[in-house]
Amino acid sequence: MKVLVTGATGQVGYDVAKELKARNIDVIGIGSKDCDITSFKDVKKTLEQIEPDVVIHCAGYTSVDRAEEDKENCYTVNSIGTENIAKVCKIHNITLLFTSTDYVFDGTGIEPWKVDDERKPVSVYGMSKYEGELAVQKYLKKYYIVRISWVYGINGRNFVKAVLDKADISSEISVVADQIGTPTYTVDIAKAIVDIVQSEKYGIYHVANEGYCSWYDFACYLFDKLNRQIKVIPVSSEKYVAKAKRPLNSRLDKNDLEKNGIERLPSWENALDRFLVEYLE
């Protein structure tokens, strides 16, 4: 099996490519400099040169707040870019795995979102990923859509690095306490994604570490683990100024992993412990 990973220099793609290599799977990782996914011609040329059996599509526009003012670029990358890849995969009978997000849901209620629940995004970023999902489902039968949430890893910017940076310049930080979900480590996401593409059990999956917490809970656990005397102040989403609306409920139902023989991920606490060992070594 030959696998092409888009966005291989990004947070998720980096660890996916690393996991494939660790399993001795033939992998080629590309970034935006190697292929402009917003160009159908460029995508077609790249896939025809590489001739992969599977494309794991991790490339994307991920700046949730900036997307509210940069709509055209966000849609071009996440919607049109994904459609281009799906079209070429259809032409050449290539299996596609598309990494999506909990932001395709509106974040209401308290129940974990099931894979087939109605998608009603409340942000530009969420809508662009929703349109990406629709494109994959329109053109392909052999596809996986993997929704991930609250992602952090060694490569790229994320919540953990941001709050640690803030703590370096202030003894107090304010963190949202009414958004509930699961922080998820890219290393664990990568293992699940590779398990999924090897299963050949197509469909939609929710991939996240086990357990739920708020961003506030997550920050408190982080500083306790590091024995840092930082005062974490809980605030509501209304008081925390952000351009894009975030889902209050980002809980994901992961039962489809077990149904298809895919191992569930460790707890979010275990994941953060392992990340900190990697990050601080």
Q: What is the C-alpha to C-alpha distance for residues 94 and 141, in angstroms, rounded to an integer?
A: 10
Phi, psi (5° rounding) for residue 12? -80, -45
Residues near 239 by beta carbon (within 8 Å), at least 6 away in sequence: none
Q: Are 174 and 231 in contact (CB under 8 A)?
A: no
Q: What is the DSSP letter of 76?
A: I
Q: At what angle do helices 159-167 and 215-225 cross, to 10 degrees?
A: 60
Q: Which of 110, 93, 192 is nearest to 147 (CA)?
A: 192
String of DSSP letters for 34-57 = T--TT-HHHHHHHHHHH--SEEEE
Q: Are 82 and 132 in contact (CB under 8 A)?
A: yes
Q: What is the C-alpha to C-alpha distance for residues 102 and 104, in angstroms, rounded to an integer?
A: 5
Phi, psi (5° rounding) for residue 98? -110, 125
Q: What is the DSSP letter of 176?
A: E
Q: Residues with catalytic annotation? A: 125
